[in-house]
Structure 1
Amino acid sequence: MSPPPHSRWGPVRSLLCLAPLLLGVPFLAYKVNYGLPEPIVDPVNPSTGLPQLSEARVLAHAKYLSEDIGFRTVGTREHALGDEWMIKQAELIRLQCEDAVRARPGRKLQCEVWHQQGSGSHRFDMMGHRLYKTYVDLTNIVVRISDGTDAGKEHAVLVNAHVDSTLPSPGAADDALSVGIMLECMRVLVDTPDWEPTHAIIFLFNNAEESLQDASHLFSTQHPIVNTVRAAVNLEAAGTTGRELLFQATSEQMIRAYAYAPRPFGTIVANEVFTSGIILSDTDFRQFEQYLNVTGLDIAVVGNSYLYHMRKDLVENIEPGVAQHMGENVLGLLLHLSSPESPLPALTEGYSRPSTVFYQFLGQFVVYSFSTAKILYALLFTASIVFVRLTYVDPAPALRQGKSAFGEQVKGTIAVSAALVGAFLNVNVVAFIMAKVLHKQMSWFSSERSCVLLYGPAALSGALASQLLVGRVRERTSFTAVLLLQSFLALVGQLAGIGSAGVFALSGFPILLSLVLNAIVSKPGDDISLWSYALAAFTPLSLGAQMFYITLDVFVPLTGRIGEEAPAEHIIASIVAGAGSYTLPLLVPFVHRFGRRTILRGAVLFSMLTALAMAIFSMRSPFDAMHQKRVFIIHMENVTTQEQHLHVAAADGAPGFDILAHSIARQFSVPGVVPEPVSMNTWNNDWDTMYPFSNFLTPYKFDLPLKPEYMDAPEHDFTVTAVNNKIDTAAGTRSLTLKIYHPGIIWTAVTFDAHVLQWALDNNPPDEYTRHYIKEGSFYGHDTWTVDLVVKIPEGDPDARIRVNFVGIHEKAMWPGKKAEKELGGRAMALFEEFDAWIEKETEGKVDALLLGCVGGITTV
């Protein structure tokens, strides 16, 4: 492909020659990354007469839960309706199972159903904050399918989805989609005449995940069959499009089991990013690890996560094929785990950190152990060093002091490293200008990959500019330096236990192969063949493109809910620079092929493109009707002062929220008010129903004019009292039961300062005088919960009185969840109806508002 040196092609012609590869491989990766199967409608295969998983049935279940029943927030009437419907579905499966056995006498098949109900409490540290949860009479629906024998029930896999939805969302994808998939899997398994499980499958339809995983805690700590669970498969959704992603896996056996799915899709990179805690999210998988000590898989739909916990999480927005893909994968996984070849009997030792590399490469799911990885990467690094040394040619043989191979590689390594540093520095300079100078941060938000157009040219111009400082470097030297760096990072990263380091080995192997072939077909001193570039670039192009797709799918929408203080612009810019550097590792040798003049021209060109991109993106709005800004609205009634306030907050750093706050003040607050941000500190308890997520909010607080139509409040008798009160002066302690009575109020939270010596929540209260947060989530109609305390009597306060902040949500005052019965929501719902229509018009549909009618106050007990 490469002509002789005297007729060397220029950069434009060379790029045109490589263009099919540079464009075609990322496109191929895109097709693989987002390819979905055709949705199936018929529940029975017309050719075989056997049952098959039907997307139409999955979505019908999801639609009934999310739209016919509606917003199933824990504690609401709709939540209770979801529980009732789920019990009926479980009983239908049990009857279907009995019919199947009668149709084939002797078939080893048994379906058991439990409707678990219970109360409990647990510590739930999140986002660096200590929090306690308590719950009363929450429910789970549990179905166990087995062969009916004790031996068949000894080792079981738990598959879980949650029936409830979160505060502002109908939850079609999150998580009614997974509920529908589990129901379909049960139907297909039971109706398959020849299927008999060797090992049991426990289907847990847990009824309170969004209230901080209360129901999975209930199952894990109180259900009678938990001691048979050997592994857990958790099904979730943080989006509505694309393939389901294996983003958390905790044993090699379960990862290899996942390979039996017809279309496995996952990568250790996503696994290690999620488990690192960078992504501030969590799933029921945490409870299964912590209380059951089991290994397992966490699987979720993550594409288009703009709709995650939003009003538009509706069935109509779930991409065709999503349910089919996820359902068939889950079914294939369960068939393997329930078979004689299942790893379940070997998983009795419980949870341990995984030591397995796994990734998706052009449709193939590759799995190998850390031990194998260390051997492979060590061989790659050794072979790279040997090859570079054996093929080294002194660039100045006529001089007495020619450069050594080591000296050449040091210069090449400096050049390659400088390009990486230059890319990161330049994108972050551009990010600073966009955010702090132009005040146009998050202009890329409405499209996951548009940020590449803004920061891609900046990364390239920074990388090229760095080469002007490095000086002249031989093409071959920088090419081999890339090989040595990739193989070194792979080996060192793997020795440190970072499985993601395998991506460097995956690009390093083809680079080594390309150099070996180049040495065979060319003479020493010749240019690196363009064929060698093509061969070496194929893997990083495909894997790098996949990194871009998956990473940006998660992180771009995430910037809309990580708080105003988070450096969203710099996070996205750095992701573009990092993934781009991996995708185009041969940029440095390629530009040094043509010399300083070409590098300078390239740097100038990409700098101009960067300026043009900044100008264009500065004119863009971050939000549109399908990529909305999240705004949180609380109508607060203070029972202590009898005041009403409107609290407004956002969870992102995009410009314009202060302008929106002023518009809200003009429309809904008292005349002449100037809105000021309220500090979100430990003393701001108005947002405690959303704690600890509330720490990411930027809130404003407005006085409300007492309009006549806002005066009718829902009835409530929200009180916090102390009973069973005893003072032990000798021990210096006070024992009491904190009693919270909240008829018609849900998601209650209390906050108080005390030195707690003992309580019913756990055996390890903080050994100091500090602030305590306790939140509640209970079943519909349950209006009382208690906490037993023993506190240290402070000096100078013999009664040890405790000042308690309390807050909760009117069950009838949540918009749009309670829109159908708005007249029962009193003044909050009257305000919300007006506010929702106003903000829709004011922002042209670019805002999704969560509207909560809350009541709170302060008391001393």
Structure 2
Amino acid sequence: MSTPPRRWGPVRSMLALSPLLIGAPLLAIRQHYLLPQPLTELYDPTTNEPQLSEARILSHAKFLSEDIGYRTVGTKEHALGDEWIVNQAKELDEICRKARSRNPERKIECEWWWQQGSGSHRFDMMNKRLYKTYVDLTNVVFRISDGTPAGKADAVLVNAHVDSTLPSPGAADDALPVGVMLECARVLIERDGWEPTHSIVFLFNNAEESLQDGSHLFSTQHPIANTVRAAINLEAAGTTGPELLFQATSEQMIEAYSHVPRPFGTIVANEVFSSGIILSEDNPTDGRDSTDFRQFEQYLNVTGLDMAIVGNSYLYHMRKDLVENIEPGVAQHMAENTLALLLYLSSPASPLPSLATGYVKPRTVFFSHLGAFFLYSYSTARVLYATLFVSSLLLAFQIKGGFRGVGQLAKGVGAVVGGFLGALMGANAVAVMMQRVLGKGMSWFAWEPACLGLYGPAALTGALLSQYLIGHVPEHTVITSTLLVQSFFALVLQLLGVGSAAMFFLTSAPLFVALVLDTLKITRTGDGVSLWTYALGQLLPLLTGTQTIATVLDVFVPLTGRIGRDAPSENIIASIVAITVSYTFPMVLPFVHRFGRRVSARVVLLLSIVMAASMATFAMRSPFDGLHQKRMFIIHMENVTSAEQHLHIAAADAAPGFDTLVHSMAETFDAHGMPPVSRKFSDWDSEWDVLYPFSAFLSPYVIDMPIDEEYASETSASAGKYVTISTTNDVVDEEQGTRSFTLVVKHPGIIWTAVAFDAHVLKWTLDENPPDEYARHHIKEASFYGIDTWSVDLVVKHPSPSGSEMIKVNFVGIKEQSMWPGKRAEKQFGGSAMRTFEAVDTWIEQETQGTVDALLVGCIGGVAVV
């Protein structure tokens, strides 16, 4: 009788599987971050056909972000950006005229508009009511059509914003997408054989960062807005990697996206974003509300796609959002996908005409995988997942001898669930140790994958410790139970309408195949489960899980630097690592049961040592460096009512060291050498109202500043001495118990003004539904450069519940010439704030070795009674 082959031990087995365990993640990472070769020439050297040029796109981005600079709405630079985009529209129009003259028979027409208008809209976020009003803001609109009324009837809108936010030059956000749109328009116009069946509307909106005023202006006031049937919004929250499809709102547009040459997006990102989980001071709203797409969806009732660059989002809304930090190939990737979408949506095969009567909300599973794009309907998914689950049950019963094996399977399911819970508990226990015991939170921040090194061993330790406590379970039972658990979740989640159930289908389907082959003894040699079963069952989870880990960490790790000091960022990242690692390595649990409790105990001990060494190593790391900086928010506040001046300083992360840094700053800059005063925000603290309600994420301190003697002699508008809050048309109706008036805010030299007051508003010109109660109201303004007056008409109950006939109005605004470093070249006009900022910025740079990026804005504020 022959002797069955001896089973390999754990070390030899691991060595046999190592090519898979190393090669599959490397392949997935390579494909995940693969970018096209950037092109430099405007025309193909061989065919002389027009082609998308990354060099041209980046030249546009560089001009906007560096030659013009910080294009904050209301500044001179914002006006220069508007002028530049008008000139670009004129150049495109001239290219179009020449194209028509070369081929008079070609059906192509170009039109453009410079839109200017005023308006207001409600912008609720973070469970706060906020109202926006804007005066004389602008957009540039460029349309390409076949010149016929029928060709103009149904349009696809593609949008990017020209402005940048307060502390950032905005090379990626959003000058790069602006360059992409300009280059797509040029290539379409110069492509002689192309004629659009349906029109394309390019919207270069000039006020996204001031809470989507530009897109609201277009959606509510432009004469061709009602022709838009679908919208493509181009954004950037980072500077590296492929552009991510993170929101798709109809089956038609998902199908349209399937035609792009380099798809990159999944229904998981779509559902996570739409859930509102991703919240920060830069993305404070319910998921889908954080981009211009909100306005198109709300006011035009259209479907569409939201696409953004998300890699290396450490630089998002930071000073180093510069062209030099944009990875080669990023612009090419976004441009090629955008052009493909526009070609398809303007073609005879386009779904645009059908969208005129409405669209079908997504019931489509879609995902990109190793460069390929897959999509299928929810009904198909239910059939597939139900078939897999039932087949898995039948296979399990066949393997375990029918219902007699139910008890053993139940123990196996308990082991699988216990392993997952153990991973969560292990990772979160280390998170508590790092944050609360060692005081070394966010030590992984400066490199997205670093948290795997800290929490990966902890998750594995917790998972394997749970198996040791559960006791031995036959490996075949654990594998079968893993299949049942995953196929069950795939089916149940899909029945609940969660398209992300596809993730479990992708891991359970190959495991089912592996078990079938093992049962048929096709892959088995001798007794027990073959290593081929492990290889087949682990391959797709490795590929899918690695891509998922990369995407999730790219988004969530940098985000922890801006979700607020009170947010449990350490536990969030620990949980993400535990969940994604458990998903990526489902075969770890049966593998450890393969060798018994003795080996399991040794592995747990070894992992515990690795975990302790990892904690010690990370405890010595600094969370920040020169390209992964801490965000600080500093406001130089001049109270024109009390004549006091203060520095308000805040951070939006839980990393250690901020309190020490602020105390050191107070020793240098406080007027009396006193420690800084810690503050807690409420809706009645107006100092941070220019950032309201983002300010809820901040943990502020206050430093007293000496009265700047030079300020007393400043007579320019930038000194902030001429802001006035007054009323006109003020009428009290004693019989009705109401007071009607127009609140007028005059703010020469001041931008982004905000007012807050308490009143029972019955009617106003902001919207038709003011709260039917005495409440706190916040109104924020954004206007074009040089516009210094805005107003709102109100009818309020009179007198107020307090018995006073007057209303106290808190006001605050940003000095247009007092923003550092955006106005550094004109610092002599910025008054006391800029003199302070120059010293503070130099001090921060020296004190932190360049690991802090500070938003430095000079504000004026005060109280008026009207």
| TM class, shorter-length | over 0.9
Out of 651-660 and 674-683, give the one that drifted further: 674-683
In the TM superposition, 1:117-136 aligns within 5 A as: 117-136=116-135
SS at match of 1:620: coil
Q: Which residue of 2 aligns with 1:228?
A: 227
- The 1-side partners of 2:804 and 2:367 are apart by 62
- The 1-side partners of 2:36 and 2:71 are apart by 30
Q: CA RMSD in A?
A: 1.4
Q: Which residue of 1 aligns with 2:446?
A: 446
Q: Which residue of 2 aligns with 1:677?
A: 678
Q: Which residue of 1 aligns with 2:413?
A: 413
Q: Which residue of 2 aligns with 1:316?
A: 324
CA shift for structure 1 position 528? 1.3
Structure 1 contact 393–524 (Cα < 8 Å) conserved: no
CA shift for structure 1 position 706? 3.0
- The 2-side partners of 1:4 and 1:763 are apart by 86
1:288 is aligned to 2:296? yes
1:104 is aligned to 2:103? yes
Q: Which residue of 2 aligns with 1:834?
A: 839
In the TM superposition, 1:373-522 aligns within 5 A as: 373-393=381-401, 404-521=404-521
- The 1-side partners of 2:702 and 2:677 are apart by 7
Which residue of 359, 366, 369 maps to 2:377?
Answer: 369
1:326 is aligned to 2:326? no
Q: Which residue of 1 aligns with 2:808?
A: 803
1:302 is aligned to 2:303? no
Structure 2 contact 432–571 (Cα < 8 Å) conserved: yes
CA shift for structure 1 position 105? 1.1
In the TM superposition, 1:180-199 aligns within 5 A as: 180-199=179-198
CA shift for structure 1 position 253? 1.2
Out of 721-730 and 184-193, give the one that drifted further: 721-730
CA shift for structure 1 position 709? 5.6
1:777 is aligned to 2:782? yes
CA shift for structure 1 position 95? 1.2
1:719 is aligned to 2:718? no
Q: Which residue of 1 aligns with 2:286?
A: none
- The 2-side partners of 1:707 and 1:204 are apart by 45
1:692 is aligned to 2:693? yes
Structure 2 residue identity aligned to 1:209: E
Percent of matched pairs sharing the same residue: 63
Q: Which residue of 1 aligns with 2:211?
A: 212
CA shift for structure 1 position 356? 1.2
Structure 2 residue identity aligned to 1:702: I
- The 2-side partners of 1:66 and 1:712 are apart by 34
- The 1-side partners of 2:62 and 2:800 are apart by 59
CA spacing shift, 1:201–1:428, aligned 2, 3 Å: same
Structure 2 contact 244–310 (Cα < 8 Å) conserved: yes
Structure 2 residue identity aligned to 1:255: I
CA spacing shift, 1:634–1:795, aligned 2, 3 Å: closer
Q: Which residue of 1 aligns with 2:649?
A: 648
CA shift for structure 1 position 128? 2.0
- What is the TM-score when the length of structure 1 is the normalising length? 0.97
Q: Which residue of 1 aligns with 2:23?
A: 24
Q: Which residue of 1 aligns with 2:542?
A: 541
In the TM superposition, 1:101-180 aligns within 5 A as: 101-180=100-179
Which residue of 716, 725, 736 maps to 2:741?
Answer: 736
| Deviations 1:148-185, CA, capped at 9 Å, x for gaps | 00111111100000000000000000000000000000
Q: Which residue of 1 aligns with 2:631?
A: 630
SS at match of 1:404: helix
1:564 is aligned to 2:565? yes
Structure 2 residue identity aligned to 1:540: P
Out of 365-374 and 181-190, give the one that drifted further: 365-374
- The 2-side partners of 1:760 and 1:60 are apart by 43
Q: Which residue of 1 aligns with 2:605?
A: 604
1:278 is aligned to 2:277? yes
In the TM superposition, 1:45-84 aligns within 5 A as: 45-84=44-83
CA spacing shift, 1:797–1:588, aligned 2, 3 Å: closer
1:666 is aligned to 2:667? yes
Structure 1 contact 734–800 (Cα < 8 Å) conserved: no
- The 1-side partners of 2:424 and 2:181 are apart by 45
Out of 48-57 and 464-473, give the one that drifted further: 464-473
Structure 1 residue identity aligned to 2:730: N
Q: Which residue of 1 aligns with 2:264?
A: 265
Structure 2 contact 70–169 (Cα < 8 Å) conserved: yes
How many residue pairs were aligned?
851
CA shift for structure 1 position 587? 1.1
SS at match of 1:521: coil
CA spacing shift, 1:735–1:618, aligned 2, 3 Å: same
- The 1-side partners of 2:373 and 2:362 are apart by 17
| Deviations 1:831-854, CA, capped at 9 Å, x for gaps | 111111111011000000110000
- The 1-side partners of 2:708 and 2:75 are apart by 28
Structure 1 contact 161–235 (Cα < 8 Å) conserved: yes
SS at match of 2:233: strand
Q: Which residue of 1 aligns with 2:287?
A: none
CA spacing shift, 1:578–1:376, aligned 2, 3 Å: same
CA shift for structure 1 position 264? 0.9
- The 1-side partners of 2:83 and 2:278 are apart by 34
Give 5+ residue unaligned stretches, structure 2: 284-289
Q: Which residue of 2 aligns with 1:400?
A: none
| Deviations 1:635-669, CA, capped at 9 Å, x for gaps | 10101001111111111010000001011101111
Give 5+ residue unaligned stretches, structure 1: 395-402
| Deviations 1:122-170, CA, capped at 9 Å, x for gaps | 0101122111100001000000100000111111100000000000000
Q: Which residue of 1 aligns with 2:531?
A: 530
Q: Which residue of 2 aligns with 1:398?
A: none
- The 1-side partners of 2:825 and 2:559 are apart by 31
| Deviations 1:79-128, CA, capped at 9 Å, x for gaps | 00000010010011111101101100110000000101100000101122
Structure 2 residue identity aligned to 1:290: Q
- The 2-side partners of 1:521 and 1:9 are apart by 18
CA shift for structure 1 position 602? 1.1
Structure 1 contact 712–826 (Cα < 8 Å) conserved: no
